[in-house]
Amino acid sequence: QKEVEQNSGPLSVPEGAIASLNCTYSDRGSQSFFWYRQYSGKSPELIMSIYSNGDKEDGRFTAQLNKASQYVSLLIRDSQPSDSATYLCAVNLGGGADGLTFGKGTHLIIQP
């Protein structure tokens, strides 16, 4: 049974600070890792994908992957109120034929 675990939150962060979101996964065969943002009532939108150990930066977002620890994280720098949303961690075994296994998501609140 593939599992992806996230702290459901809510995680409250002051505006301008760094928000740190964490995720662990159970399937060691997982190869592809994604962070999605989902606003209430909307479908998820991709923020970052990461496939190799280490850090990957894209603007204010940094994804970190540690396959040995089965851990992936997302850092959001200079947090803005518009970043308030539920952040979903998703993994799959790496092939395009595989769907994604999602965590339950972390509800992030950026306080103005």
Partner 1 sequence: GAVVSQHPSRVICKSGTSVKIECRSLDFQATTMFWYRQFPKQSLMLMATSNEGSKATYEQGVEKDKFLINHASLTLSTLTVTSAHPEDSSFYICSAEGRMTDYGYTFGSGTRLTVV
Q: Is 93 in the site for partner 1 (CB under 8 A)?
A: no
Q: Which two tokens stand for residue 11?
A: 């995680």
* Window 28 to 67, contacts with partner 1 (CB under 8 A): 32, 34, 41-46, 49
Residue whose CB is less far from partner 1, 40 or 112: 40
From 30, 23, 42, select the one nearest 104 (Cα to Cα). Answer: 23
Q: Is 77 in the site for partner 1 (CB under 8 A)?
A: no
Beta carbon of residue 72, minimum distance to partner 1 (angstroms, whole number) = 15
Residue whose CB is less far from partner 1, 91 or 110: 91
